[in-house]
A and B are shown apart, each in its own frame.
Chain A
């Protein structure tokens, strides 16, 4: 208990340090840090609509974060969640506007296509990583650029809606992911995300397969000697991670935008990765960090209206927090002699 408290206080100190550095950056761009903070809080929690907005922003970050947790658990880095999100979003939208199906079946079909698109997008990097050791960090990052360009091509050159905007036709109402309130697009995606996080946590902690995955992440050699087929398992883990990434795109397309357009969901995939890192790869912890990042994002919308600072100031704060915590991991290693949590970062 004492160790955990020590680790937590260290984490808090690191975040405080990051926030101070963030304040310095805010001063450097000619704004008042207190005013920025108040605006962020107001934008994130100032009214029921804004709280719903925060949860709405947190949803894709949470789903992408779970996708990242899955690969991190096995010691693999899927940084291509952004690309899987774009492919999944486009696939879901395509099913949504191209076919006419009965209500629930249409929604499920669109979701299934989103998942399939995510899996398809990570299949090659996963295959070459686990079979021939091609670095998955680089291949999935490069895949992001291709995914954004390919979906833009499909949207604008092939499926563009008549009219000026660079977007596809809207999806049919039968494929809508239902929303909760009349005043917000907040939808069932939030519960899908929470359910995925709890499910992933359960699999990791309570099942033999989950133990094998954690073992592989902690020490791949050891896991191999223990009789785990780490190639096959690594391949499947990356596919699962890609599937969840594609689902995140489906939720965005069917629940929020109801179409696919250029610049669809920018940066949620990266936010998901850093939310998972901040939670140290724990799916349940990712619920908290995704809410935090969702609040930052939601608050940043008001930032551009009420202050002269740009909304990218929040990505600066996010990055500083990750950097501060990344140093913290080492300090925590000194505090406890258990290496299991730390070894996951080395591979």
Chain B
């Protein structure tokens, strides 16, 4: 009985890691734009074209890796359009993001019909998914080995990116530039950093990771493409980005929460609860967290304002601009 209980837990943990990966990838992508001070509601659409072109690329080339490349390229192209309109033409980011999401949905459905002559979803046609990675020596670590081994490669990429990005924002020149542009654009200008260039770079990097997230969705998480298969993950990622402020560790925490509610809802579906109610669980969790943390953030906002004023008085501010100055000096 005890063994059975543990297996239940082990499988639930493994399922959580599996469901966390797509939203984690797109969330980490969004951290670039969030850090650079752009509110990017277009993640959903970038993920969707990533998923679609990953499938198209795989079917036409026979290699899922070329498919991933196609997906990433398509998502990056959409990100370029976003940057062009938002950064260069200074159009409203919400309007552009929403329109690009609608565009992504319409283009993928139209092309699905145009190329394959079907509606709804596409699988078969020689579509192969990404290979499963069996970590060496995983068996020797008992249940832990079972949990961490046997995923498709992009799952590992997603989790490895968390420490990588954390270091990126703290230690590298580009990471600091991104933060300065987002936190204090005036300071960035004074330091001679090109705001336009940094925001373009952030948007494109975001597109790359959103494309990876989409490719993972259609080649790793499942091996098919379905109309609107990103099903709000991009929007949930935006909710996470709002309260994590783009910090990779907080994004990981938020994504694990959604991954868990996703895994739980998949499990509950087999237990006889109405699938409609169960499927709404991740969205409700996202809403609850958004509301709860906005409530939490209120006193902090006042505290932070007070702290900023105190810092301004004592000239001991510690912003990204100072980090940058310290790294230069």
Interface, chain A (partner B; CB < 8 A): 25, 28-31, 77, 79, 124, 128, 132-135, 137-139, 141-143, 145-146, 149-150, 152-153, 156-157, 270, 273-274, 277, 308-310, 312-316, 318-320, 322-323, 326-327, 329-331, 345-346
Contacts and interface: CB of A to CB of B under 8 A. Distances in A.
Interface stretch (B188-196, B200-208, B232-240, B247-255): B232-240
B95 A345 contact: yes
B86 to A, nearest CB: 9
A142 B106 contact: no
Nearest to B92: A345
Contacts of B111: 28-29
Given A146-B280, A146-B283, A132 B113 contact: no
Contact of A274 (B85, B99, B284): B99
Nearest to A124: B291
11 contacts: A28-B111, A135-B239, A137-B94, A138-B242, A149-B280, A273-B98, A274-B99, A310-B112, A310-B113, A310-B114, A312-B110
Interface string B117-152: 101000000000000000000000000000000000
A25 B100 CA distance: 15
B110 A316 contact: yes
A152 B291 contact: no
**Secondary structure of the B contact surface, majority rule:** helix
Interface of B: 41, 81, 85, 89-92, 94-96, 98-100, 102-103, 105-107, 109-115, 117, 119, 231-232, 235-236, 238-239, 242, 274, 276-277, 279-280, 283-284, 286-287, 290-291, 294-295, 297-298
A313 B106 contact: yes
A326 B298 contact: no
A319 B119 contact: no
A133 B295 CA distance: 8
Given A137-B94, A139-B287, A150-B280, A145 B232 contact: yes
Nearest to B99: A322
A327 B81 CA distance: 11
Given A28-B114, A29-B113, A137-B41, A319 B106 contact: yes
Given A25-B107, A315-B105, A320-B103, A138 B239 contact: yes
A156 B274 CA distance: 10
B103 A346 contact: no
A266 B102 CA distance: 13
A330 B90 contact: yes
A153 B242 contact: no
A149 B281 CA distance: 10
A323 B277 contact: no
A326 B92 contact: yes
A29 B102 contact: no
